[in-house]
Amino acid sequence: MAHFHIQNLTFSYPNAQHRTLDGVDLTVEKGEYVVLCGKSGSGKTTLLRHLKSVLTPYGSRSGAVLLDGQPLEQVSQHDQARRIGFVMQSPEDQIVTDKVWHELAFGLESLGEDPKAMRLRVAEMACYFGIQDWFHRDVETLSGGQKQLLNLASIMAMHPEVLILDEPTSQLDPIAASDFLNTVRKINLELGTTVILTEHRLEDIFPYADRVVMLEDGRVTANGSPRQVAQLLWRQESQLFAALPTPARVFYGAGGEGTCPMTVREGRGWLTGALENRPITVNEPESAPTLPETGDPALCLRQVWFRYEKDSPDVLRGVELTVPRGCIFAIVGGNGAGKTTTLKAACGICKPYRGQVEIFGKPLKRYRPGELYRGCAAMLPQDPKSLFVGKTLREDLEEMCRDSEQIQTVAQTCAVAGLLDSHPYDLSGGEQQRAALAKVLLTQPRLLFLDEPTKGMDCFFKGKFAKILQTLKSRGMTLVLVSHDVEFCAEYADLVSMFFDGQIVTTDTPRRFFGQNSFYTTAANRMSRCVFRNAVTADEVTALYRKNRGDGQ
Amino acid sequence: MQRDAFSQCHPLTNFLYFLGVIGFSVVIQHPAYLSAGAVGAAVYSLLLYGRPGWGRILGLVPLFVVLSGLNPLFNHYGQGVLFTVFGKPYTWEALAYGMTIAGMFVVMLLWFGCYSRVLTSDKFICLFGRLIPALSLLLVMILRLIPSLTRKARQIAGARMCIGKGVAEGASWKEKISAGMHVLSALTDWALEGSIVTADSMRARGYGGIRRTSFQIYRLTGRDIGLIAWMAVLAAGVIGAGGTGAAFTPVLRIDRPTWGLAAYCLFLLIPPAMQLKEAVQWRISISRI
């Protein structure tokens, strides 16, 4: 018997014109790993929330949801709490209590478990998830990844049969995200827990999912194995195709034959096989035009040293950085290495105790208070929510500037002109990021800092965001961004710097930078390095493949 | 923080100890008991805080001096007149009383300093959570919320600074208040948004169903029961032996200390004694290796 059976589910929010879910029919078998994907606003979250009564939104609804053949409304709240685990997006807000051990026990306490049984369950979970080391800590001291793992563990402590995860990794950096997804996969494999997941980082989960369900405007448009869905997306020329793993994208883009590769390993196998016995005539992408030399740099850091407290270790240990004018400059590196601190030091929030920061050739200290942030430099913070103060986006933008014409122009540039009258919190993650960018742009900066701009964005939004950045660059703005997103940097940055151990280790063009690296590089490069040199994006690999096969000429 | 043997005991043991020492230091005004209490509290503060503990203790000395000197200005009873202030006698009985009250205050501050280190919020909740489950959960949630909100507020202020909306140096108070209001309004929006998620997360984990139980990581062991019994015996000794009376004005009359004082000292010394015992044991076991 199916674990979940959704029958012809239709739902619309009160006062909404259109249906958020429109006749959804879906079965999920016991122990299956199902990935639900679709663009933001396609109804993924609404659908997931229908799988647990307490979270079901208000609105008009028809159709039925059956759990083990029993209508969900007839399953008691107590049973639902125990049997259906639900992990949400925000690692921070889901946590209720102040101690890790207490959070682990929260669900069990609510279910009225016997304290002795609870002790064992909590111990078990702490071991399974590797939480022993931070069992006694305050939740406030945990990293985002640890927080989300704690949320997962505290739900698993109730021994649910189904685990529902609503974009659980959207607020995490890629390393924490893939750790988290591996844990989910381990739960699915080792405990047989049914997993239903929405995710925009398909690269990590596509190869492992049993089934992929595609939602578009509240309808199921595809439902099948990852390979079938990938093929369908290619044939429909869907915008979601961009979210597929790189090997699959290269395969379809190059018109490959045979089974579609999903992982880097399979991709390598396919590429070497397809180019076997053919002379490799072109093995390197055409070199990109070099940046024109432009006077003095936009930003220059010389021997910058910084630590947060007198006795704490140095975070920046002699940072040397020169950013030429009019380029997109990316700083990549591990978690907690000090990338964000570098940005803060560059824009004057952190005052280095040694070394000098120059913006447009003028030392930071010589800027009068307030002068720096008017028409010179500005920063887009990691969390766009920290910039919103108004009831509508328009109010927020008017805080910066009274000129409605200018607001219109900037809103158009950032593609938020249609959203001006909505509350900033009602926007999706990607829209919020663009709205925050619009607000920052109203200070008319010549040098813009961006802290993890692509965090929580799906591929479709990322492309849109990158276009905005390129427009800004073409107008002569200098953009410095700090990111974990290797693929994004490879595709759109002009220069990439590696940050490690409080210093900039190396700076180069993305092609040379990622081409030299063998671990810290893009999937496209890892897949193609056995055949081509310095190809770092899917498009480059596709182009090289086509050239060598002699097609498309 | 220094490692402390007594802090590892069950919260109930910790709580009863502090109930005892703070209670006695409030009730007993006898100078010998008070001095013993002061020494005990100072020793334990040093054990808990280490080097910065000296700063805490020395910082209380001026407070003690000021408070002691203040009482005779308002209380003119007593026979031994030292001098007159504004035509009113400044008696040494009143000064002695002032010193007692000031001493009591200072000792209490020291004890509460220790209390906050030993009886952390989770221990407090472990003790009283069962009595008032809803309230204790509320307390836990507030403890969770405060650091999270301060962090967010700092984040908002930083973000606003980078778009030229921060408080510049030398801004007028009007600008400062307006900037503060903006941060507060942004923080409220953010917190409300977050609280919806928290509420969902609580209901999704069965909150509000049947009566909650509470999970404890502390266990009452035999050692705790032994300690509690020992504390009870000593407390009974202090109360039973008497000799704790002291009156200052109009006539100074202080009881002769009895063996109750010894019991009181033993009571005070429980945490340092445990620490010492642990240190000695380690020394011995290391020397055997």
- State the pLDDT at residue A291: 64
Q: Print burial letters for A119-150: b (CB count within 10 Å at least 16), e (below 16).
A: bebbeebbebbebeebeeebbbebebbbbbbb
Is position A238 within any domain? no
The verdict on A221 and A259 lying in the same domain is: no
Q: Chain A: nearest CA to B163, how far in angstroms? A: 5
Neighbours of B222 (CB within 10 A): 7
pLDDT tens, residue by residue, A308-350: 887 788 888 888 888 988 889 999 887 777 888 898 888 888 8
Cβ neighbours of A122 in B, within 8 Å: 215
| Residue found under tokens 């032994």 | B226
Residues A69 and A198 in one domain: yes
Residue B105 contacts A where some CB pair is shorter than 8 Å: no
- Judge whether residue B251 has pLDDT over 80: no
φ and ψ of B79, to 5 deg = -105, -40
Using CB atoms, pick whichever of B137, B164, B206 lies closest to residue A78: B206
Residues in B touching A344 (Cβ below 8 Å)? 158
Q: Which pLDDT belongs to residue A294? A: 65
> pLDDT over 70 for what percent of chain B?
97
Tell me the nearest-neighbour CA distance from A102 into chain B, angstroms. Answer: 7
Closest to B201 (Cβ–Cβ): which among A78, A88, A140? A88
- The confidence score (pLDDT) of residue A553 equals 41
Question: Residue A84: what are its φ and ψ, rounded to 5°?
Answer: -115, 115
Nearest to A88 among B122, B197, B207 (CB): B197
Is residue B141 very low, low, confident or very high in pLDDT (cuts 50, 70, 90)?
Answer: confident
Domain of A275, in residue numbers = 245-288+522-553
Residue A178 forms part of a structural domain = yes
- Distance in Å, alpha carbon of A114 to nearest chain B alpha carbon: 7
**Would you list the DSSP string of A139-161?**
GGGS-HHHHHHHHHHHHHTT--S
In a domain, A396, yes or no: yes
| Residue environment code for B164-191, b if the CB has 16+ CB neighbours within 10 A, otherwise e | bbbbbeeeeeeeeeebeebbeebbebbb
Do A380 and A513 belong to one domain?
Answer: yes
Instruction: State how far the Cα of A526 lies from the Cα of B152, in Å rounded to an integer.
Output: 39
**Span B123-130, mean pLDDT?**
79
B147 close contact with A: CB closer than 8 A: yes
User: Please, are residues B25 and B42 in contact by the beta-carbon 8 Å criterion?
Assistant: no
Query: Is B286 part of the contact surface with chain A (CB cutoff 8 Å)?
Result: no
In chain A, residues with a C-beta closer than 8 Å to the C-beta of B141 are 96-98
> If DSSP states are collapsed to H, E and C, what string results for chain B?
CCCCCHHHCCHHHHHHHHHHHHHHHHHCCCHHHHHHHHHHHHHHHHHHHCCHHHHHHHHHHHHHHHHHHHHHHHCCCCCCEEEEECCEEEEHHHHHHHHHHHHHHHHHHHHHHHHHHHCCHHHHHHHHCCCCHHHHHHHHHHHHHHHHHHHHHHHHHHHHHCCCCCCCCCCCHHHHHHHHHHHHHHHHHHHHHHHHHHHHHHHHCCCCCCCCCCCCCCCCCHHHHHHHHHHHHHHHHHHHHCCCCEECCCCCEECCCCCHHHHHHHHHCHHHHHHHHHHHHHHHHHHHC
Q: Using CB atoms, pick whichever of A82, A102, A373 lies closest to residue B206.
A: A82
Asked if A118's CB is within 8 angstroms of B213's CB, the reply is yes
Distance CA A272, CA A531 (A): 7
Q: B242 or A437, which is more confident?
A: A437
Nearest to A108 among B152, B163, B215 (CB): B215
Contacts of A98 in chain B (CB under 8 A): 121-122, 140-141, 143-144
Q: Rounded to a whole number, what is the distance in Å from the CA of A155 to chain B's nearest CA? A: 7
Give the model's confidence band at B129: pLDDT under 50 very low, under 70 low, under 90 confident, else very high. Answer: confident
| Contact yes or no for B201 and A115 at CB 8 A | no
What local confidence, expressed as pLDDT, does residue B158 receive? 85
pLDDT tens digit string along B13-43? 999 999 999 999 988 889 899 999 999 999 9
Task: Indicate the residue of B144, B156, B200 with minimum beta-carbon distance to A55.
Answer: B200
**Facing residue for A98 by CB, picked from B121, B202, B217:** B121
**pLDDT over 50 (residue B1):** no
Calculate mean pLDDT across residues A519-535: 86
Query: Percent of chain A having pLDDT more than 70?
Result: 98
Contact between chains at B210 and A111 (C-beta distance less than 8 A): yes
pLDDT at position A115:
84
Q: Is some CB atom of chain A closer than 8 A to the CB atom of B160?
A: yes
Give the SS3 label for residue A530.
Answer: coil
Residue A545 shares a structural domain with residue A432: no
Interface test with A, best of B122, B140, B162 (most A CBs within 10 A): B162
Q: Per residue in A282-295, pLDDT tens?
A: 777 777 666 666 66
Domain identity same for A284 and A165: no
Are residues A190 and A204 part of one domain? yes
Closest CA to B70 of B47, B39, B102: B102
Predicted confidence (pLDDT) per residue in A234-272, tens digit? 888 887 888 888 899 999 988 877 788 888 899 998 988
Q: What is the pLDDT of residue A443?
A: 86
Q: Cα(A173)–Cα(A179) distance, rounded to whole angstroms?
A: 10
**Whether A434 and A493 share a structural domain:** yes
B169 Cβ under 8 Å from any chain A Cβ: yes
CB contact under 8 A, B209 and A81: yes
Cβ within 8 Å, pair B186-A388: yes
In a domain? residue A419: yes
Contact B216 A138 (CB under 8 A): no
Residue A342 belongs to domain with CATH number: 3.40.50.300
State the nearest Cα–Cα gap between A279 and chain B, in angstroms: 54
As given in the structure block, the two tokens for residue B270 are 């429980």
Q: Do B163 and A102 touch (CB under 8 A)?
A: no
Q: Give the whole-angstrom CA distance, residue B153 versus residue B180.
A: 10
Residues A398 and A439 in one domain: yes
CA distance to partner chain A, nearest, from residue B198 (Å): 5
On chain A, the residues whose CB falls within 8 A of the CB of B151 are 140
In this structure, the answer to whether residues A281 and A313 fall within a common structural domain is: no
Instruction: Establish if A239 belongs to a structural domain.
Output: no
Output the pLDDT for position B53.
86
Give the list of residues 6+ apart from residue B63 with CB closer than 8 angstroms, or none: B102, B105, B106
Residue-level pLDDT at A112:
84
A433 interaction partners in chain B (CB closer than 8 Å): none
Question: Which residues of chain B lie closer than 8 angstroms to A440, CB-CB?
Answer: 162-163
Per-residue confidence band for B160, with pLDDT thresholds at 50, 70 and 90: confident
Strands A4-12 and A60-67, bridge-based pairing: antiparallel
Nearest Cβ partner for B215 among A109, A138, A385: A109
Which residues does chain A have within 8 Å of residue B144's beta carbon, measured at their own beta carbons? Answer: 95-98, 139-140
- Percentage of chain B lying above the pLDDT 90 cut: 33
Interval A13-20 mean pLDDT: 84
Q: Which residues from chain B sit within 8 angstroms of residue A371, using beta carbons?
A: none
Q: Does residue A40 sit within a domain?
A: yes
- Quick check: helix, strand or coil at residue A14? coil
Can you give the pLDDT at residue A148? 93
Q: Judge whether B283 is closer than 8 Å to chain A, CB to CB.
A: no
Helix (H) or strand (E) holding A461: helix A459-474
pLDDT at position A27 is 92
Residue A309 in any domain: the answer is yes
Q: How confident is the model at residue A274 (pLDDT cuts 50, 70, 90)?
A: confident
- Summarize the confidence of residues A77-85 as an average pLDDT: 89
pLDDT of residue A187: 93
Q: What is the mean pLDDT of residues A15-30?
A: 88
Q: Does B201 touch chain A (CB under 8 A)?
A: yes
Model pLDDT, residue A292: 63
Q: What is the least distance, in Å, from the CA of A115 to any CA of chain B?
A: 6
- The verdict on a CB contact (< 8 Å) between B141 and A369 is no
Q: What is the pLDDT of residue A152?
A: 94
Number of domains in chain A: 3
- Answer yes or no: is A126 within a domain: yes
Is the pLDDT at A469 greater than 50? The verdict is yes
- Count CA within 13 A, CB hemisphere, residue A321: 34
The answer to whether B207 faces chain A, any CB pair under 8 Å, is yes
Chosen for mutation from B161, B201, B202 (greatest number of chain A CBs closer than 10 Å) is B201
Strands A194-198 and A162-166: parallel
CB contact under 8 A, B215 and A102: yes
Judge: A425–B193 Cβ closer than 8 Å, yes or no.
yes
- Same-domain pairing of A206 and A256: no
- A292 vs A112, more confident: A112
Q: Does A495 score more than 70 pLDDT?
A: yes
The HSE-up count of residue A188 (CA atoms within 13 Å, CB side) is: 24
Same domain, A532 and A450: no
User: Do residue A331 and residue A362 come from a single domain?
Assistant: yes
d(CA B130, CA B218) in angstroms, rounded, equals 14
Query: For a pLDDT cut of 90, what percent of chain A falls above it?
Result: 21
Q: What is the pLDDT of residue B169?
A: 60
* Contact between A88 and B205 using a beta-carbon 8 Å cutoff: no
Taking contacts as CB-CB distances below 8 angstroms, the residues of chain A near B150 are: none
Contact state of B140 with A105 under an 8 Å Cβ cutoff? no
Q: Residue A149 — pLDDT band, cuts 50, 70, 90?
A: very high
Contact yes or no for B144 and A109 at CB 8 A? no
CB pairs under 8 A between A and B: 173
Distance from CA of A353 to the nearest CA of B (A): 19
Indicate the residue of B144, B159, B202 with minimum beta-carbon distance to A387: B159
CB-closest option in B141, B161, B186 to A349: B161
Identify the band that residue A552 occupies on the pLDDT scale cut at 50, 70 and 90.
very low
Most confident residue range from A289-303, A425-439, B161-175: A425-439
Q: Can you give the pLDDT at residue B35?
A: 93
Question: Do the chains contact at A105 and B215, CB–CB below 8 Å?
Answer: yes
Nearest-CB residue to A111 (from B158, B202, B206) = B206
Evaluate if residue B168 carries a pLDDT over 70: no
